[in-house]
Amino acid sequence: MGENTTIFIAGDSTAAIKVPEKRPETGWGEVFQAYLLENVRLDNRAINGKSTKSFIKEGHLEAIAKSIKPGDYLFIQFGHNDQKLDDPDRGTQPYEDYQENLLKYVQVARSVNANPLLLTSVTRRNFVGNKIDENSVGDYPKAMIEFAEQNNVPVLDIHKKSREFLNGVGEEKSKEYFLHLPPGQSKNYPEGIMDNTHFNERGAVAVAQLIAIAIRESNLPIKDLLNSR
């Protein structure tokens, strides 16, 4: 197992590859290869700003369908942009078209005997008191777990894992994992930035590590594709 296996990522900006003009912003999908065996290929198709709806509408799922093969994996992580209900091209209702869209991703994988793997949305850094708001990505994580149970699809609760991690780090220190920069520190953000959704490299590595840990704990066959990091 693993020889010529490809892991595809369908997702949004939290996982996506960043352009130089956005650094130090980093997607977790950019650093996940470090946790895989050398003969496992990572094909990160995550795109900034996409929801389950817009990713399909713009043909990105169809492109994966043309590339994915038996034995491959399809990681599916959306939610942040599905929240944008004021945008008809992206917004979805968590227990309605969000779940209907998830089924389309699962069907693409299953249609070629590839393996779908759902990942609940990584949390936003929204502290209420000394704890992360469990609803920072709305009902989408809960809706994904419900969908997974109803359709017998493996799911990793990365929303919960990332919340627990940040709660442990604490409100102030958790800024060190996100795109938080004072004015004048980065030529890409001369005015500074306080972004509680997107990660810097340290945050991306932390999330990738949480996903690797969740895979090992799940005891799914994909654990055999991970290295010993």
| Active centre residues (catalytic) | 13, 191, 198
Residue 146: alpha-carbon gap to chain centroid = 18
156: its two tokens? 């990793």
- Amino acid type, 12: D
Helix/strand/coil (H/E/C) assignment for every residue in 48-99? CCCCHHHHHHCCHHHHHHHHCCCCCEEEEECCCCCCCCCCCCCCCCCCCHHH
Give CA–CA dist 209/26, Å, rounded.
14
Residue 100: exposure state from Cβ atoms within 10 A (0-12, 13-18, ≥19): middle
| Whole-number Å distance between alpha carbons of 150 and 216 | 23
Identify the sign of the CA torsion 129, 130, 135, 136: positive
Closest CA to 27 of 108, 119, 139: 119
